[in-house]
Structure 1
Amino acid sequence: MNADPEAASVQVEPRVRPQTRHTRELDETRALELLGRTGVGRVVYTVGALPAVLPVRFRLDALGGVLLSTAAGSELARAVDGAVIAFEADEVDDADGTGWCVTVLGRAEVRPPTPTPTSTTARDDRAQIRIAPELVVGRHLTPDPF
């Protein structure tokens, strides 16, 4: 075997590992409180057995359900009706990586638009999606201790 002696002496620098963030779990009440302070998150669902992630505006209802609005008949509405899906929102400081992240898992229910006598705009054909919170996981991101 003709090994190149020069190649054997080359020192490979170890890869720089990204800083890890420590997390502290939040109770469900605090997680929902933080979630209610923001209005944009990501809904995670499947289309043809493949994962899909879509940024969406949302709000919470009085029971902690996540409410989304989408065009009636949209891919999102068709894909999630009756399915167990995930929803995630967070707020993270770009400078130090501190913040929080909340994930809600639950079954989605698509509520079709309710026609009204004055429905004349495209916005009137919006369906509402409600994700019933079966599992709420919140984490507070803290800086590394070193």
Structure 2
Amino acid sequence: MIGSLLTVNVTGCATATPDPEKTTEEAPVVEYGDLSEALSTAVPRIVGVEDLGRSGNGAGYRLDATLVLDSAEPFTGDELDAAAEAIWRTLPWEPNAIALVAGVDGADGDGPEAVDLRAAAADLSPMGHTDVGQGGVSLFDMDERYGEWTAPE
């Protein structure tokens, strides 16, 4: 659905057959807190969050998320600021980057329609950003804008 907005191409991957002689530990479950509620409270036009993911990026962990919106209007700087701060204050682990794409379900089942976050991100200095996906952004240096990260209580 909306998750198809963020496309990642992977090349050169090989699959390995697990060795039945070896036991493996299960990957730890990643917690996100009550992120969906925090985001819809901060920005009422966010009606859901999909495709939550956490990935290591060499310097820590990046949050990946798709914001499901109620309209295709571009995000304002204030809306993106409120969403980023809600994520920063809600996650039970410190993200060193927040990668977001946004979209709405297309009319008449046309598929998802991307909502551009890039212009809004330009208003969020001193926090930095790069472009990702179709109109998405990866935000970094959140502590420069919101202060030091602390675990939610």
| TM-score, with length taken from structure 1 | 0.31
Structure with bigger helix share is 2
Greater C-alpha radius of gyration: 1
Structure with bigger strand share is 1
Structure having greater relative contact order (Cα 8 Å, sep ≥ 6): 1
